[in-house]
A and B are shown apart, each in its own frame.
Chain A
């Protein structure tokens, strides 16, 4: 199995909404408002990094956060929604 390098699914855009001050996932027919640090995590999903790399980069930024426990499961959930591939 090849290593998963998460990136947005076709038609999916990650946008910082400057009017509302939130991060958004823009999909055909749907807008998802990203809560908490979801936008920061998804911003690293550009198809170039694998999951361990994403975890390492986030851990370097937030040494006290439970990133290794939570981020891989979060990314799997977002993939199941069809927003990452």
Chain B
């Protein structure tokens, strides 16, 4: 692939280049055998026909390594649906980039894993929906998904690769937290990440269905503290704080355009995987621009980088270099203004939006609409119920 340099390429006069990125999230495809209602993929899934080709990914990883990227998450959708995944891993590893596969585990075979390991794959993160197989299959929208995951975990540990589990937490699995954590030692995982649902994309669409109660969360936090003590030195238990509940904004992505970048299936490059939803961002793509230009010079990456873009109450806040004003996508989703202070922050003038949400009595589950799920990606298909 040869990116077409624009006339204004080259060092910006007088501008300091931002520090190089450490990590790249490669969304290799939006296609997925699972259909979780909290999916972090955009509502408009990229069609398979628009996906970057193998030579385009190879070139992207070379450019990323030249830029300073040392770590890549190979994700999706389900990256195993890419027939050329082994070659993609080899390209990243060959460029000197540490690779981790982010997978549902569905479709992983011993032969496939051996090829991936041979190509330089260094670790695997497996998603889990619930501790109970039937409940997990229901959340994932696929029969026998949980059993396939357990099998995949065994393959990974047999191959000697480090295994991590990732669980997105919400109202329907928080009660099973203890049993979910038990899966880590039982399946041979050295790490389990318990990520409370972040509400944008599909999760925002299904918020009423997913948002836990305060009581559920308080109990979960106590469980995490206890299990951390018990599993100390054996399993690392990561708790991704639910920012709707504690009045503080999270330092989303470690700052906009500060640490990592996301490349979507069609080559669009984003400062955060959810940022495609922001209006007027006009994110650049690797088919049109060199990755270095995108990171160092593109308006999309400069837009919320650092603190210059901030307004009050962020601009004069002591935490502005710590939380970077929180999440731009959440600010946009809940206030209609992507440059507003994240409403998760108690100092936001919109904080009541969040308070009203979490303090509202939980609707009885019978009264809920059918959750909406991502389906097959297609350029012409709009969001709809399956």
Interface residues of A (CB under 8 A from B): 9-11, 13, 15, 17, 19-20, 24, 26-29, 31, 82
Given contacts A31-B71, A82-B190, 15 further A-B contacts (CB under 8 A): A11-B161, A15-B96, A17-B68, A19-B20, A19-B66, A20-B20, A20-B68, A26-B70, A26-B71, A26-B122, A28-B98, A28-B122, A28-B123, A28-B162, A28-B164
- Note all chain B residues with C-beta closer than 8 A to A10: 123, 160-162
Q: How many residues of B contact A (CB 8 A)?
A: 20
Known interface pairs A26-B71, A28-B164; A11-B22 also in contact (CB < 8 Å): no
Instruction: Give residues 186-244 of B contacting A (CB, 8 Å).
Output: 190-191
- Note all chain A residues with C-beta closer than 8 A to B122: 11, 13, 26, 28
- Note all chain A residues with C-beta closer than 8 A to B96: 15
Contact assessment for B22 and A31 in the assembled complex, using a CB-CB cutoff below 8 Å: yes
Contact assessment for A28 and B70 in the assembled complex, using a CB-CB cutoff below 8 Å: no
- Note all chain B residues with C-beta closer than 8 A to A9: 162
- Note all chain B residues with C-beta closer than 8 A to A24: 70
Contact assessment for B100 and A29 in the assembled complex, using a CB-CB cutoff below 8 Å: yes
In the A-B complex, the 9 residue pairs with the smallest Cβ-Cβ separation, listed nearest first, are A28-B123, A26-B98, A11-B162, A19-B68, A11-B123, A11-B122, A28-B162, A28-B100, A10-B162
Q: How far is the CA of A82 from the CA of B66 in the complex (A)?
A: 29
Q: How far is the CA of A31 from the CA of B20 in the complex (A)?
A: 14
Question: B104: CB under 8 A from chain A?
Answer: no
Instruction: Give residues 54-107 of B contacting A (CB, 8 Å).
Output: 66-68, 70-71, 96, 98, 100
Contact assessment for B164 and A29 in the assembled complex, using a CB-CB cutoff below 8 Å: yes
Q: How far is the CA of A66 from the CA of B66 in the complex (A)?
A: 37
Q: How far is the CA of A50 from the CA of B96 in the complex (A)?
A: 27
- Note all chain A residues with C-beta closer than 8 A to B162: 9-11, 28
Question: B125: CB under 8 A from chain A?
Answer: yes
Known interface pairs A10-B162, A28-B162, A29-B164; A15-B70 also in contact (CB < 8 Å): yes
In angstroms, how far is the closest chain B Cβ from the Cβ of A17? Answer: 6
Interface membership of chain B positions 232-258, coded 1 if the CB is closer than 8 angstroms to chain A and 0 otherwise: 000000000000000000000000000
Contact assessment for A31 and B191 in the assembled complex, using a CB-CB cutoff below 8 Å: no
Q: How far is the CA of A17 from the CA of B70 in the complex (A)?
A: 8
In angstroms, how far is the closest chain B Cβ from the Cβ of A76? Answer: 15
In angstroms, how far is the closest chain B Cβ from the Cβ of A83? Answer: 11
- Note all chain A residues with C-beta closer than 8 A to B22: 31
Instruction: Name the residue on A nearest B21 (C-beta).
Output: A19
In angstroms, how far is the closest chain A Cβ from the Cβ of B137? Answer: 27
